[in-house]
């Protein structure tokens, strides 16, 4: 069912690469997470104890995996890793290219030894160019270096960072789709290949409309202050009487006159001065002021009734606590319940794909550091004396 029977080996830390492997584990793959003896750095976020079980960050990125801890610089650690890779289908790593080459774990080395292996490289900027060995995170590359942040931050505001993992999870999905394409090809060729995904290239695609405009015309629009936005309504936030915010997207030519009617301004519909689109910012601001005034006299609940009955595309600006408590969040299946590793259960964000006709049950939490080391090495056929040396290093 789905990815059951697929063996995935992950040598990665933080988010983008582990996130891709975590979704594959959700979908039934046997994912083996190989960590250093010090463990993945995100284990240090929300450290676990009997009083505070279940690290939410580490669990999201690593649930359902088996955990192996190896010192791959040692002879026995390297032997263990190569043994685990011998029958693997996919190898996912975000270790920097230079370090992988020094460790003889780069694509050329592993492809020669395991020609059926799909080798997925997840990086900041790819495998070529002057910046390949610079450290990279989603805040520094996906958001800042790529132009995504500059496109989102109005020029009258100080720069701000994206939320943690935002670009990483987009890159995780890009990596997942690329790996699945390579696996499909292998059915015909019998051979693996290199799959390369980066924060920078994913960001360029995620910002697609603006980037396409930039490439075509040499310039692209960026987010502007509210008073400079060229459309009076679409994508604009309006404040209600009870201090809530709502926004719209006009999905067709009938939406503007419909909105003006339900807001009590039918006089704007047939007046050619207020026809949309308008290049006159004074007219745009006048229309927006009428809408501002209309919403300032009604509560969010009152606005919801009017706008929903009119079949307009609108939404309230919600907090995370409102989202996770909503009926729709639950109906959409946005969370799964997994083990917290301490005998209890915890909710965790679900992978975006859903399979109503059947899928593996997502219940396993994240592994403790090195939890499955002996088990996995035995399965891989590693000699007992080598396993004992590995376990002695783990402590």
| pLDDT band, very low/low/confident/very high, at 50 (cuts 50, 70, 90) | confident
Task: Name residue, tokens 């009017």.
Answer: 306
Q: Which of 30, 89, 168, 210 is catalytic?
A: 168
Query: Could you give the residue range(s) of every CATH 3.30.1540.10 domain in the chain?
Result: 231-321
pLDDT score for 278: 84
Q: How far apart are CA 56 and CA 46, in angstroms?
A: 7
Burial of 311 (0-12, 13-18, 19+ CB in 10 A): exposed
pLDDT score for 234: 86
Element (H, E) at 7: strand 7-11
Q: Would you say residue 70 has pLDDT above 90?
A: yes
| Mean pLDDT along residues 164-193 | 96
Per the CB < 8 A criterion, the answer to whether 55 and 43 are in contact is yes
* pLDDT cut 70: percent of the chain above it: 100
- pTM score: 0.92
DSSP-assigned letters across all residues of 64-93: T-EEEE--TTSHHHHHHHHHHHTT-SEEEE
- Mean pLDDT taken over the chain: 93
pLDDT score for 176: 98
Which residues fall within 8 angstroms of residue 378, CB to CB, at 6 or more apart?
387
Task: Name residue, tokens 């946005």.
Answer: 334
Q: How far apart are CA 356 and CA 370, in angstroms?
A: 34
Per the CB < 8 A criterion, the answer to whether 232 and 278 are in contact is yes
Query: Could you give the residue range(s) of every CATH 3.40.50.10540 domain in the chain?
Result: 7-208+333-394
At the topology level, CATH places domain 7-208+333-394 in: Rossmann fold (3.40.50)
Per the CB < 8 A criterion, the answer to whether 43 and 65 are in contact is no
Q: Is 168 a catalytic residue?
A: yes
pLDDT score for 107: 96
pLDDT score for 1: 81
pLDDT score for 394: 86
**pLDDT tens figures, 327-356:** 999 999 999 999 998 999 999 999 999 999
In CATH, what number does 231-321 get? 3.30.1540.10
**pLDDT tens figures, 234-270:** 889 999 999 999 998 888 888 888 998 989 888 888 8
pLDDT score for 121: 97
Using alpha carbons only, what angle is made at residue 112 by residues 107 and 117, rounded to the nearest 5 degrees? 65
**pLDDT tens figures, 261-309:** 989 888 888 888 888 888 888 988 998 999 999 999 999 999 999 999 9
Which residues fall within 8 angstroms of residue 76, CB to CB, at 6 or more apart?
386, 389, 390, 393
pLDDT score for 51: 82
Helix, strand or coil for residue 307? Answer: helix
Q: How far apart are CA 30 and CA 66, in angstroms?
A: 8
């Amino acid at each position: 069912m789905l990815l059951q029977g697929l063996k995935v080996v992950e040598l990665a830390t933080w988010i983008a690469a582990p996130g891709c492997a975590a979704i594959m584990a959700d979908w039934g793959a046997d994912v083996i997470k190989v960590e250093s003896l010090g463990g993945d750095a995100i284990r240090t976020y929300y450290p676990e104890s009997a009083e505070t079980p279940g690290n939410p960050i580490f669990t999201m990125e690593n649930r359902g995996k088996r955990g192996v801890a190896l010192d791959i610089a040692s002879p026995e650690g390297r032997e263990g890793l190569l043994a685990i890779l011998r029958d693997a289908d996919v190898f996912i790593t975000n270790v920097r290219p230079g370090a992988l080459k020094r460790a003889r774990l780069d694509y050329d080395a592993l492809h020669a030894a395991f020609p059926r292996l799909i080798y997925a490289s997840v990086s900041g900027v790819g495998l070529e160019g002057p910046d390949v060995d610079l450290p990279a995170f989603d805040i520094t590359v996906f958001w800042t270096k790529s132009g995504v942040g500059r496109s989102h931050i109005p020029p009258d505001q100080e720069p701000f960072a994206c939320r943690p993992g935002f670009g990483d999870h987009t890159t995780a999905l890009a990596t997942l789709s690329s790996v699945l394409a390579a696996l499909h090809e292998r059915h015909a060729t019998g051979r693996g290949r290199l799959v390369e995904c980066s924060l920078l290239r994913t960001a360029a695609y995620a910002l697609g409309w603006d980037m396409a405009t930039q490439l075509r015309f040499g310039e692209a629009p960026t987010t502007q202050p509210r008073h400079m936005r060229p459309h009076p309504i679409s994508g604009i936030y309006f404040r209600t009487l009870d201090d809530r915010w709502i926004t719209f997207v006009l999905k067709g030519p009938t939406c503007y006159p419909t909105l003006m009617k339900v807001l009590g301004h039918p006089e704007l519909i047939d007046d050619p001065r207020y026809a949309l689109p308008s290049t006159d910012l004074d007219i745009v601001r006048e229309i927006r002021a009428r809408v501002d005034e209309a919403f300032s006299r009604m509560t969010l609940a009152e606005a919801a009734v009017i706008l929903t009955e009119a079949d307009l595309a609108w939404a309230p600006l919600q907090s995370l606590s409102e989202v996770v408590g909503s009926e729709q969040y639950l109906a959409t299946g946005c969370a799964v319940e997994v083990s917290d590793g301490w005998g209890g259960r915890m909710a965790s964000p679900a992978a975006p794909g859903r399979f109503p006709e059947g899928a593996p049950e997502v219940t396993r939490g994240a592994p403790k550091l090195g939890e499955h080391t002996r088990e996995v090495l035995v399965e891989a056929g590693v000699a007992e004396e080598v396993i004992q040396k590995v376990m002695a290093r783990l402590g």
